[in-house]
């Protein structure tokens, strides 16, 4: 009975359409044997399930058909190709050949890029890491970006520009959602986070608002996933982009003066505020959730980014001036009384704060390796063995890599 139904089952594209709300998740149901002589496809609400027993029949059947087509031993019309690749990729999204056939279908107009992205999203709900899915997705996005929408004579240039901008913003939002879902489905999902970074680099280059929004919206997420290294790495990327956009490294103009003065507005206090907020976030998490190496690693990255930026902008950002070597001798004996990092501030890395800054609200003290040492010392009392070893390793890194307190 089942073998005769294979052709029907391979028409997955049909299964995906005609559902309201649209299907948002697919899954494999572990089911070693067929029961009751019925279809292996299970549809519950807007979730599509495939019982695992049918895979060993269905997958080779459709895969074989595709290979025969590729070898020019079998003709398949475009709709059949759409169906077959759809079925294949829902079962195994790492079949590059199937994605490549879909690229050809997109290029000749038989398959809309949006439809293809939708399939990718479904495939990722089952295989959130799938490298081939992410790689193909980037091809489709590039294709979308390069394809100019048909010129409509009734539109003005300004209107076209606005519509393009809207479409771009929509695509951006959609990609952020796909990445976020995939990141939730698999811990430290490097492929998902790398894709997220790629999308921002292509669709939001230099767009400070987008980066600030991302930093802000990711705050609760990383706080709930304190050992997700890729999530924190994303924050490091955002910080780096923001410092580049807000205050590019000062270059010297030909007459030796710092060209920073003539360049487009540098928001140096904003950069300092960003780093202070980030260090406060990671301090709070380190204290609340002791013993997570990811948090310490993030702290290292953040402090190092700040330290390097400070070296490129000497004398900027409301610094009190460098502490000479004698500061190093007294740092361990400092109490926590005068330490700005410990002060309770109900802040968030919020664009509103940056605006408040511009209105002249006083800045917190800039982070220094001195303040970092005090943070570490404050933690060492009464902490567990794991936290202790991370804290000591961080202190050693400060001394070796960062060097004399600045």
Chain contacts with another protein (rule: CB under 8 A):
25, 27-32, 42, 44, 47, 49, 52, 55-56, 59, 91-92, 94, 125-126, 129, 184-185, 187, 224-227, 288-289, 292
C-beta of 185: minimal distance to another protein in Å? Answer: 7
Distance CA(127)–CA(92), nearest Å, equals 9
Helix H or strand E segment including 373: helix 369-380
Token readout for 378 is 């404050």
C-beta of 363: minimal distance to another protein in Å? Answer: 32
Helix H or strand E segment including 354: helix 351-358
Of 18 and 30, which has the nearer Cβ to another protein? 30
Of 163 and 224, which has the nearer Cβ to another protein? 224
C-beta of 295: minimal distance to another protein in Å? Answer: 11
C-beta of 80: minimal distance to another protein in Å? Answer: 23
Distance CA(77)–CA(155), nearest Å, equals 37
Strand partners, 25: 47
| Alpha-carbon distances, residue 368 vs 221, 311, 327 (angstroms) | 27, 12, 11
Token readout for 399 is 């001394």
Token readout for 344 is 């309770």
Distance CA(279)–CA(299), nearest Å, equals 7
Helices (H), 54-95: 55-70, 78-91
**Sheet of 41-44, strand order:** 25-29, 47-51, 41-44
Distance CA(41)–CA(56), nearest Å, equals 14
C-beta of 98: minimal distance to another protein in Å? Answer: 13
C-beta of 52: minimal distance to another protein in Å? Answer: 7
Residue 189: which residues within 8 A CB-CB, separation 6 or more?
A: 128, 129, 182, 183, 230
C-beta of 395: minimal distance to another protein in Å? Answer: 24
Of 41 and 339, which has the nearer Cβ to another protein? 41
Of 35 and 73, which has the nearer Cβ to another protein? 35
Of 27 and 165, which has the nearer Cβ to another protein? 27
Strand partners, 41: 50
Of 29 and 252, which has the nearer Cβ to another protein? 29
Q: What count of residues does the chain have?
A: 406
Helix H or strand E segment including 26: strand 25-29
Determine the Cα angle at 212 with ends 207 and 216, to 5°. 150
Of 25 and 342, which has the nearer Cβ to another protein? 25
C-beta of 226: minimal distance to another protein in Å? Answer: 5
Of 35 and 359, which has the nearer Cβ to another protein? 35
């Amino acid at each position: 009975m089942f073998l005769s139904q294979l052709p029907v089952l391979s028409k997955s594209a049909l299964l995906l359409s005609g559902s309201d709300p649209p299907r948002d998740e697919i899954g494999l149901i572990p089911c070693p044997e067929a029961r009751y002589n019925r279809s292996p496809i299970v549809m519950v609400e807007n979730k599509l399930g495939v019982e695992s027993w049918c895979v060993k029949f269905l997958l080779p059947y459709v895969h074989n058909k595709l290979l025969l087509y590729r070898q020019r031993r079998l003709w398949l019309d475009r709709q059949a190709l759409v169906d077959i690749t759809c079925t294949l990729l829902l079962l195994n999204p790492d079949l590059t050949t199937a994605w490549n056939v879909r690229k050809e279908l997109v290029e000749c107009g038989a398959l809309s890029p949006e439809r293809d992205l939708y399939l990718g999203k479904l495939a990722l709900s089952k295989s959130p890491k799938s490298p081939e899915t992410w790689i193909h997705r980037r091809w489709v996005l590039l294709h979308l970006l390069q394809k100019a929408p048909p010129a409509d004579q009734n539109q003005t240039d300004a209107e076209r520009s606005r519509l393009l901008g809207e479409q771009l913003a929509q695509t951006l939002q959609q990609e952020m959602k796909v990445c976020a879902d995939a990141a939730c489905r698999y811990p430290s999902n490097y492929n998902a986070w790398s894709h997220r970074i790629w999308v921002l680099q292509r669709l939001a280059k230099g767009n400070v608002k987008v980066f600030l929004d991302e930093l802000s919206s990711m705050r609760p997420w990383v706080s709930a996933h304190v050992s997700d290294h890729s999530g924190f790495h994303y924050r490091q990327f955002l910080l780096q982009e923001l410092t580049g956009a807000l205050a590019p490294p000062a270059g010297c103009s030909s007459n030796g003066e710092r060209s920073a003065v003539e360049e487009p507005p540098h928001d140096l206090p904003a950069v300092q505020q960003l780093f202070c907020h980030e260090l406060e976030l990671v301090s709070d998490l380190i204290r609340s959730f002791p013993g997570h190496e990811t948090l310490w690693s993030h702290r290292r990255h953040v402090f190092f980014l700040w330290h390097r930026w400070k070296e490129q902008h000497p004398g900027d950002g409301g610094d009190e001036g460098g502490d000479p070597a004698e500061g190093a001798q007294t740092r361990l004996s400092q109490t926590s009384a005068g330490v700005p990092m410990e002060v309770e501030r109900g802040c968030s890395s919020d664009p509103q704060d940056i605006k408040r800054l511009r209105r002249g609200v006083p800045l917190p003290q800039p982070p220094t390796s001195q303040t970092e040492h005090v943070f570490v010392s404050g933690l060492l009392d009464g902490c567990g063995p794991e936290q202790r070893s991370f804290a000591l390793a961080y202190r050693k890194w400060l001394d070796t890599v960062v060097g004399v307190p600045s």
